[in-house]
A and B are shown apart, each in its own frame.
Chain A
Amino acid sequence: MLIVLLQSGVAVCHGKSSDEREQSGAAALSASLQEGQTLYLAHCSACHGPGGEGGKGPTLALPSLPRAGTDEQLRRIIRGGISGSGMPRSELSSEKIARVADWVRHLGTRPVEKIPGDISSGRKLYQGRGGCVQCHTIDGIGKAIGPDLTDIGLRRSPDYLRMALLEPEADIPQTYSGYNRYLSLRENFLQVRLVTQDGRSFFGVRVNEDTFSIQIRDLENQIHSFYKAELTELHKDRGKSPMPSYRDAFTANEIDDLVAFLHSLIGRRTSR
């Protein structure tokens, strides 16, 4: 009996100890995830959405991420950013980057929203009736008045793409941010109207600007350069876009198709 009690006591003792370990493990995980969430909200949510639903940046609430198949790849992207995109490098410590990566993976455990629409119908609309090639490029084909769309499916969420089609002026694409403000060449598609001293009017998007000069690309894809002293008028239409809304031009199904097509664009495949 004594032996049984002792054994039982031992068993209970072990059991309690095991519970404690699990509890403290769960608490540690929870605290760690919480820290990841706090960091994510501070650093990432402005572009990727508070729930990873995407926005200016791509959706992160996915079971697998196209650019970050492994956790190490994900941490590397957070640490080093993505050159040429709006994704900046992070100054956070390795530990904090790991917390953020864990939280991003946690977001990926949430149910995925299915994207309606037909990709091939969307492609036809893009190439034909939509007139998108008049201002955008895919794989270097088209005009460069608006952003390149070769890998737009990696860079923008479906909801953002839909918004861009319905309300192009809701968010003007731009690469200017505190993270890359030292780039001399901005790509922020600022709509500009100007008049020269000899009476010629120009309309387009800004290519570059300094205190004394400005360069624009007109809607024919031609680049013009001016010294500001040569101008009688210079208007920067902040918040405006030459892109029309497709709300009335397309049906809801056609918008779905176009979103599905744009979402499928994940970059040129390099031939080996």
Chain B
Amino acid sequence: MNPCTFSRSLPVPLLFAISVAAVGDILASEPEVSYERIRSSNTEPGNWLTYSGQYNGHRHSSLSQINTGNVFQLKPAWVYQSREAGKIETSPLVIGDVMYITEKPHIVTALDTRTGRPLWCYRRPPAEGVPACCGPVNRGLAVLEDALYHLTFDAKLLALDLQSGRLRWEVSVADYRDGYSCTVAPLAVKDKIIVGISGGEFGIRGFLDAYDARTGERAWRFYTVPGPGDPAFGTYEGDSWMTGGAPTWVTGTFDPELNMLYWGTGNPSPDYNGDLRKGDNLYSCSLLALDPDTGKLRWHFQHTPHDTRDWASCQVPVLVDAQVDGVPRKLVVQANRNGFYYVHDRVTGAFVRGVPFIPQTWAKGLDAAGRPIPAPHSEPTPEGNLIYPGLSGATNWFSPSYDAANGLFYVQAQEEYGMYYYKMEAAYSPGRNFEAGGTRPVAGEEPFTIVKALDVTTGTLRWQFRMEGEARGGIVSTAGGLLFTGNAEGAFFALDAVTGKPLWHFQTGGQIWANPITYLSGGKQQVAIAAGQGIFVFELP
């Protein structure tokens, strides 16, 4: 029996959770997940306590049971198949011997990592008619103390009991009828749950929120499109700021010592036609550093001013301590959708370096302050203008990883990927698509994906591994000298982290649009990835 099985023909209570298995031993033995535990999650690599594994966004594990010498023996331990159709983008959490995943549309499931069997399942009927660009996907959960936090597609924040999945409270983040939706995994910081929003194609006014983890009361809201009175107000012509977009749809990172939260923002609205919102359009396509206690902005950097090609800066900002020109620096790095790899001082936001990590045609380069110097013919036209990279960008929401031991930053990138960008007129109407143009592909062109290992401070390419198909897979690297990733063709595989040589692969039979994780189950290292409609888990014999 699967507790997630859901019959549409039966009357369904509005909200319910079912617990079917004898799970007491496993779940009860695990202590609560305090903020201090998440903060020092590098000391307990057997668990995966937050979206990127650690607050710093490294998605790197110190586990080495599976390593370059034995990875060829890796076998599936179990597969969990979702009962609902559609792709899974979840990045699981693991606490003790229990994995917590989200499934579309509004399902949270706890799985026994030893057997793959569901332990409990929370679900509610999907909201109908949520306006969103890309389907009711969800990228995962946050845990804090004895609760899990889940954002629903129709923009509600739920707190669930960690032991049972039963609903404690829910609050509305925004009204989905106005084009707001949620796909992001929340981030638990201290006593707050940080929540991003989606809807950049629907003329929302973007924000980042924090909620009291106990009560669900909203602690602060930072509008990513400033209103009157803000120093950055006026970078949208006229009233266009009111529908200015700049969503916050990928989980950010956090530096506990600096007490600074880092979060990327998405495209300005409407997409493609910048004539309708002249100006730089702050804080769209930017990296923000915020005080997590108050939501006050510490600094910002806009990668793509006045974006017209949907190049969100939503990619996970990775926090790196490394030397630049012989001087130890606290850095934040990001491989950006616009094709440039950026290095910043994460204390001040100062631009340190920016280099293209794929061939691109839109910018002649970056000036001394990091602002792009536009190339000719790099804007959408009514007929369409061929620009590289295409709509999905050089990379996208799926996570990179960083191995501090070898100083390499790993990212999936797309090359030979251009699109014709065209612009049209568009009028705003609440909850309706607000895209003033679009893209069309280059006939016959087959983009391909490359796993790139970049020197973390210079962006210099150290090695690359070419794949077929489109990039959609995140990366986890390990102290076993490995990195694991996969992509839309369904192959999940391991590369030698130092050389990029392929060491193991498995065809999952479904597209991989998710981030892998690794952890211990009963003391044994496992690697997990969502593929197609399931979760695939691998371990050594």
Please report A residues at the B interface, Cβ cutoff 8 Å.
38-39, 41-43, 46-47, 56, 91, 93, 171-172, 174, 176-179, 181-182, 184, 188, 209-213
Known contacts A93-B433, A177-B441, A182-B488; A211 and B468 CB within 8 A of each other: yes
Contact of B440 with A211 in the complex, beta carbons under 8 Å: no
Contact of A210 with B507 in the complex, beta carbons under 8 Å: yes
Known: A42-B382, A184-B489, A211-B505. 16 other contacts (CB 8 A): A42-B422, A42-B440, A43-B440, A46-B440, A46-B443, A176-B446, A178-B439, A179-B441, A181-B470, A181-B488, A188-B446, A210-B469, A210-B507, A211-B468, A211-B469, A211-B502
Known contacts A210-B490, A210-B507, A212-B505; A38 and B424 CB within 8 A of each other: yes
Contact of B440 with A210 in the complex, beta carbons under 8 Å: no
Please report B residues at the A interface, Cβ cutoff 8 Å.
382-384, 390-391, 419, 422, 424, 433, 438-441, 443-444, 446-447, 466-470, 487-491, 493, 502, 505, 507, 511
The list of the 9 closest CB pairs from A to B, nearest first, reads: A178-B441, A210-B489, A211-B467, A42-B422, A212-B505, A211-B491, A177-B441, A210-B491, A209-B468
A213 to B507, CA, bound (A): 10
Task: Output the least CB separation between B182 and chain A (Å).
Answer: 22
8 A-B pairs within 8 Å (CB atoms) are namely: A42-B383, A182-B470, A209-B489, A211-B467, A211-B491, A211-B505, A212-B493, A212-B507
Task: Output the least CB separation between A12 and chain B (Å).
Answer: 38
Using CB atoms, name the residue of chain B closest to A50: B383
Task: Output the least CB separation between A219 and chain B (Å).
Answer: 23
A41 to B438, CA, bound (A): 13
Using CB atoms, name the residue of chain A closest to B384: A42
Using CB atoms, name the residue of chain A closest to B502: A212
Contact of B419 with A178 in the complex, beta carbons under 8 Å: yes
A56 to B383, CA, bound (A): 19
A47 to B440, CA, bound (A): 11
B390's contact among A38, A42, A178, by CB below 8 Å, is which?
A178
A38's contact among B382, B447, B466, by CB below 8 Å, is which?
B382
Task: Output the least CB separation between B481 and chain A (Å).
Answer: 20
Using CB atoms, name the residue of chain B closest to A44: B440
Contact of B493 with A211 in the complex, beta carbons under 8 Å: yes
- For A179, list chain B residues within 8 Å (CB): 441
Using CB atoms, name the residue of chain B closest to A90: B438
- For A177, list chain B residues within 8 Å (CB): 441, 443
A167 to B493, CA, bound (A): 41
- For A174, list chain B residues within 8 Å (CB): 444
A38 to B381, CA, bound (A): 11
Task: Output the least CB separation between A1 and chain B (Å).
Answer: 53
A174 to B445, CA, bound (A): 10
- For A188, list chain B residues within 8 Å (CB): 444, 446
A174 to B383, CA, bound (A): 24
Task: Output the least CB separation between B387 and chain A (Å).
Answer: 13
- For A41, list chain B residues within 8 Å (CB): 382-383
A212 to B123, CA, bound (A): 38
A104 to B422, CA, bound (A): 20
A93 to B468, CA, bound (A): 33
Task: Output the least CB separation between B426 and chain A (Å).
Answer: 10
Task: Output the least CB separation between A203 and chain B (Å).
Answer: 20
- For B466, list chain A residues within 8 Å (CB): 211
- For A47, list chain B residues within 8 Å (CB): 443
Task: Output the least CB separation between A2 and chain B (Å).
Answer: 50
Using CB atoms, name the residue of chain A closest to B443: A46
Most buried by A among B444, B487, B507: B444
Task: Output the least CB separation between A152 and chain B (Å).
Answer: 18
- For A172, list chain B residues within 8 Å (CB): 444
Task: Output the least CB separation between B3 and chain A (Å).
Answer: 30
Most buried by A among B383, B391, B440, B511: B440
Using CB atoms, name the residue of chain B closest to A236: B446
Using CB atoms, name the residue of chain A closest to B465: A211
- For B382, list chain A residues within 8 Å (CB): 38, 41-42
- For B424, list chain A residues within 8 Å (CB): 38-39, 42
A172 to B439, CA, bound (A): 23
Using CB atoms, name the residue of chain A closest to B380: A42
Using CB atoms, name the residue of chain A closest to B133: A91
- For A182, list chain B residues within 8 Å (CB): 470, 488, 511
Task: Output the least CB separation between A78 and chain B (Å).
Answer: 14
A210 to B511, CA, bound (A): 12
- For B470, list chain A residues within 8 Å (CB): 181-182
- For A210, list chain B residues within 8 Å (CB): 468-469, 489-491, 507
Task: Output the least CB separation between B444 and chain A (Å).
Answer: 6
Using CB atoms, name the residue of chain A closest to B87: A182
Using CB atoms, name the residue of chain B closest to A47: B443
Using CB atoms, name the residue of chain B closest to A56: B443
Using CB atoms, name the residue of chain B closest to A39: B424
- For A93, list chain B residues within 8 Å (CB): 433
Using CB atoms, name the residue of chain A closest to B510: A184
Contact of A211 with B390 in the complex, beta carbons under 8 Å: no
Task: Output the least CB separation between B417 and chain A (Å).
Answer: 9
A218 to B457, CA, bound (A): 48
A209 to B467, CA, bound (A): 10
A46 to B440, CA, bound (A): 9
- For B433, list chain A residues within 8 Å (CB): 91, 93
Task: Output the least CB separation between B413 and chain A (Å).
Answer: 15
A38 to B423, CA, bound (A): 10
A212 to B383, CA, bound (A): 39
Task: Output the least CB separation between A35 and chain B (Å).
Answer: 9
Contact of A176 with B444 in the complex, beta carbons under 8 Å: yes
- For B440, list chain A residues within 8 Å (CB): 42-43, 46, 178
